[in-house]
Amino acid sequence: MVVSLVADGLLLAWLAACAFHDLRERTVPNWLTVPLLLLTAGWRMAQGGWEVVILVAALIAGSDLPRRSWRLALAGLAGGSVLMAAGSLESGLLGLAVLLEWLLWEFGLTGGADAKIILALLLVTGDARLLVWISLAGGLQGLAGLILKRKTIPYTLAILFGTLLWFLPGGGL
């Protein structure tokens, strides 16, 4: 229980650091995102979630393919393979959430740092429902941006607040 609270606190502190950096610099550097993505991939593998880690690795490796049609074909093939290999509904839903987040990045609807942060969160929590909370927080953030007449607000804030909502009792639905 204490270890879980410490780990949750460290994760939220990392998210706060990402959001703070994004607010100040309008970017989140790789040194802040990549190490945690790698650590969470290792964690997910240790938990038996190898298929989702392979999906993340395939999507990241395929992101450098020169044509979007090739990248989408790879995503479909890798995503379909993970869904077939998934040993449980939760694992399949996690694979779908990973694929959805990658597609949002591929089509320019989220930034690269945001995608790495969300992928790391999905890997460490193993809960696809986290993406729902982040999306809800993002919608509220977009509404606030319209009201305040701001063109953009760093999405790391929505990621942070959506994750906080997920952590609340009953947040995991």
Output the CA–CA distances (angstroms, integers) from residue 123 to 71, 94, 99, in the order listed.
22, 8, 12
Phi-psi region of 152 (alpha: psi -120 to 50; beta: other; left: phi over 0): beta
- pLDDT, residue 141, reads 93
Q: Is residue 34 part of a domain?
A: yes
Phi-psi region of 108 (alpha: psi -120 to 50; beta: other; left: phi over 0): left
Q: Is residue 138 part of a domain?
A: no
Residues 143-166 pLDDT 10s: 999 998 888 889 999 999 999 999
Residues 72-125 pLDDT 10s: 888 888 877 877 777 787 888 898 899 999 999 999 989 999 999 999 999 999
How many Å apart are CA 119 and CA 121, to the nearest integer? 5
Domain residue limits at 68:
2-125
Averaged pLDDT of the chain: 89
Q: How many domains does the chain have?
A: 1
